[in-house]
Amino acid sequence: MIYMNIISMRDLDKKTVESIFSLAEKAEKGKLPERKGILATAFFEPSTRTKLSFQSAAERLGMKVVDFIPEVSSLQKGESFSDTVKMLDNYCDIIAIRHPKEGSARLAARLAKHPVINGGDGGNEHPTQTMIDLYTIKKEKGKLDGLNIVFFGDLKHARTMRSLIYGLGMFGANMILISPKGLEAAPEIVKETKEKFGVEIIEKNEMDFTNADVVYAGRIQEERFADKYEAKKVMEQFRLKLEYLKKAKKDAIVLHPLPRLGEIGPEIDDSGHARYFEEAANAVPIRMAIIQYALEK
Ligand code: NCD
């Protein structure tokens, strides 16, 4: 049996992501085969959707779940990350992990015999969220290539945005990146995505949503700021208002990985544009597909 780790969008190709989408479609129809085994969730950072949807996905597949909770574990006695991962690996068949340090999921994958799925490593990557986002856009718009996607938020620190820029590039979408000054996407990500996939990526600091098919908003990542006051200041200034969407396409949709704080005005919820709760619901079939794929590859 060859296992597959899911650590970075950069390790995946279009064919693999499309296979995961097909499995997710089957999952939605209740057509994925049942499977035995245990998923371990090891979340060293807060989580609602990612952890619970991984657990729900495993249970829906017929698997069992063990949950490592750092606050009540031997981590408190000083046990190392490496030893913790090695132990956990003995008690399960697959591990979903989240950790504040960039590179931690890759390290866990090196240490474990079983597949490791990255549920977010610091400000680096969040590949399973990207697959949820791509799947949601494809479901809503019927395609990904040629769409205009406007990003809105903290592009410097948000791992969801970092992974999605690459993922959308892979599928041929064009991007406009709107962020507060100083919170722009890392230049190497933009350059890499443009060069590798030949897509258009334009960066802006002003609110311009002209011709948008999709607006992808995100939270200012306060926990990754050295100066929390700076984060609070931009949070207040950077809010998506319904009037900004006037120049977007009529059927433009608004996505957000959630949790949201104040960056999406409440008037967006009832505007017909909001799809963030549908997006969150897609987390279960996509994560069922990812577990299945990682265990069977
Ligand atoms: C995101 C995360 O943890 O990166 N949430 C999620 O997984 N759906 C977004 C965030 O915390 O802002």
**Catalytic residue status for 98:** yes
**Catalytic residue status for 49:** yes
Centre of ligand 1 from the C-alpha of residue 86, in Å:
26
Tell me how far CA of residue 167 lies from CA of 50, 102, 187, in angstroms.
18, 19, 16
Centre of ligand 1 from the C-alpha of residue 161, in Å:
10
CB 124 within 8 A of CB 159: yes
Rounded to whole angstroms, how far apart are CA atoms 134 and 112? 29
pLDDT, the chain, mean:
96
Which helix (DSSP H) or strand (DSSP E) does residue 124 occupy? none
Per-residue pLDDT of 64-105, as tens digits, reads 999 999 999 999 999 999 999 999 999 999 999 999 999 999
Rounded to whole angstroms, how far apart are CA atoms 75 and 81? 8
Centre of ligand 1 from the C-alpha of residue 44, in Å:
13
- Which atom of ligand 1 is the closest one to the Cα of 98? 3
Choice among 29, 31, 36, 77 that is catalytic: 77
Rounded to whole angstroms, how far apart are CA atoms 264 and 261? 8
Choice among 51, 99, 114, 126 that is catalytic: 126
Task: Name the residue with the closest Cα to ligand 1, atom 1.
Answer: 257
Q: Is the pLDDT of residue 1 over 90?
A: no
Q: Is the pLDDT of residue 212 over 80?
A: yes
Task: Name the residue with the closest Cα to ligand 1, atom 7.
Answer: 50
CB 295 within 8 A of CB 94: yes
Q: Which residue is it, tokens 């049942």?
A: 34
For 112, the token pair is 């474990």
Domains of the chain: 9-125+283-296 (3.40.50.1370), 127-280 (3.40.50.1370)
Q: H helices within the chain, ranges in order?
A: 14-28, 49-61, 81-90, 104-111, 127-141, 159-170, 187-197, 228-237, 266-269, 276-281, 283-296
Using pLDDT thresholds of 50, 70 and 90, give the confidence band for residue 208: very high
**Catalytic residue status for 64:** no
Choice among 51, 98, 157, 287 that is catalytic: 98
Question: Within 6 Å (CB) of ligand 1, which residues are found?
Answer: 49-50, 120, 126, 129, 159-160, 218-219, 257-258
248 burial class (0-12, 13-18, 19+ CB within 10 angstroms)? Answer: buried
| Widest pairwise Cα distance in the chain | 56
What is the model's pTM?
0.97
Task: Name the residue with the closest Cα to ligand 1, atom 12.
Answer: 219
For 135, the token pair is 């799947």
pLDDT at 188 (0 to 100): 97
Q: Is the pLDDT of residue 3 over 80?
A: no
Using pLDDT thresholds of 50, 70 and 90, give the confidence band for residue 205: confident
pLDDT at 2 (0 to 100): 62
What is the amino acid identity at position 219?
Answer: R
Q: Would you say the C-alpha torsion 185, 243, 132, 195 has a positive or negative sign?
A: negative
- Which atom of ligand 1 is the closest one to the Cα of 257? 8
Q: Hey, which residues does 191 pair with through a beta bridge?
A: none
